[in-house]
Amino acid sequence: MRTLIFRSVAPYLSSLMILFSIFVLLRGHNEPGGGFIGGLIAASAMAIYGIAFGVSPVRRAIRFHPMALSGFGLFLASVAGILSVFPGVPFLTGLWIYPEVFGVELALSTPLVFDIGVYFVVFGSITSTALALEERERD
């Protein structure tokens, strides 16, 4: 799979896919999309990069171990649920704040934090599975 065309295109394709995955993640708040599908797109980007350049460049590129990213996502998702202890509402209740940034009203909420957590969990676990499979192929 290490043809010249593929190796030239792969970096751009991967970065585009990462960008698109973040778009899908944020869009998922009100429209179809969300953390799971976003994480899957990002993980496929890593898989493509891995097919083109091998596994170790991918590991260098994402800096952290994929499972550590998964753990970070799980942590974010749990914290998003725990936050509702402060206003005294049940676990996982959605909380909203509307800060104004540069005159634009932003709707920030704990479901968004939870969704970002899901994004990282999916991205981390699928990437580590994909990398494990790609690694074995060259043995």
Site stretch for another protein (CB under 8 A), options 8-16, 21-29, 50-58, 78-86: 78-86
Q: Does 109 engage in binding with another protein (CB under 8 A)?
A: no
C-alpha–C-alpha distance, residues 119 and 82, integer Å: 18
Contact between 125 and another protein (CB under 8 A)?
yes
Nearest to 29 by CA among 121, 95, 101, 109: 109
9 is a contact residue toward another protein (CB under 8 A): no
Q: Which is nearer to another protein, 19 or 79 (CB)?
A: 79
User: Which CB atom, from 4 or from 100, has the smaller least distance to another protein?
Assistant: 100
Binding residues for another protein, rule CB under 8 A, total 35
Query: By CB under 8 A, is residue 44 in contact with another protein?
Result: no
| Cα(53)–Cα(50) distance, integer angstroms | 5
Return the ∠ at Cα 32 (arms to 119 and 62), rounded to 5°.
Answer: 25
Phi, psi dihedral angles at 124 (to 5 degrees): -65, -45
Q: Which one of 9, 61, 85, 108 is in contact with another protein (CB under 8 A)?
A: 85
